[in-house]
Amino acid sequence: MSGPEHRPPLVRDWQAIGEALTLGFSVVSSLVLCIGGGVLLDRWLGTAPVFVLVGVALGLITAGYSLYKLAARAGQRRVRRGGR
């Protein structure tokens, strides 16, 4: 049995680095994807700036949700390790 709390420190460290690097990029990539999609839709349908605004809202919600998920996962892992 080798649950997350029994993993070697090296594995945990690299995972933590990987997830920490995800933090910034998950915010940016969600916004880029949603706003970019909004700009393309507006250009295609000629409805500017409706979809850009929808994209901004959706991007912000997604970015917030991604951050929440990452934080929740890190919290769960911490609890499993006994607060360490």
Partner 1 sequence: MELHISVKPETLWTVSIPGTGFDLRITNSFLTMLLVMLFLIIVGRIIAQRAQLIPGRLQSIFEMPVEFLLGLVEGTAGKRLGRRIFPLVGGLFIFIIVSNYTGLLPGIGTIGLVKEAEGHALLAAAKGAASEGHGKAELIPLLRPPTADLNMTLAMAFISYVAFQVAGISAHGVWGRIKHMANPPFLLPIEIISELSRIVSLSFRLFGNVFAGETLLGVMYGIANAIKISVIGLVIPVIFLYLEVLFGFIQALIFSILTLIYIALASAHEHGEHEHDDEVPSHQVREEMRPAQASRGH
- Is position 73 an interface residue for partner 1 (rule: CB under 8 A)? yes
Residue 75 corresponds to which tokens in the numbers above? Answer: 């919290």
Site string for partner 1, 14-33 (x = CB under 8 A): xx-xxx-xx--xx-xxx-xx
Binding residue count for partner 1, defined by CB under 8 A:
37
State the minimum distance, in angstroms, from the CB of residue 2 to partner 1: 5
Length of the chain equals: 84
Residue 18 corresponds to which tokens in the numbers above? Answer: 């990987």
Among candidate residues 3, 14, 18, 8, the one with its CA nearest the CA of residue 77? 3
- Is position 74 an interface residue for partner 1 (rule: CB under 8 A)? no
- Is position 46 an interface residue for partner 1 (rule: CB under 8 A)? no
Q: Which of 45, 50, 53, 72 binds partner 1 (CB under 8 A)?
A: 72
Residues 56, 35 contacting (CB under 8 angstroms): yes
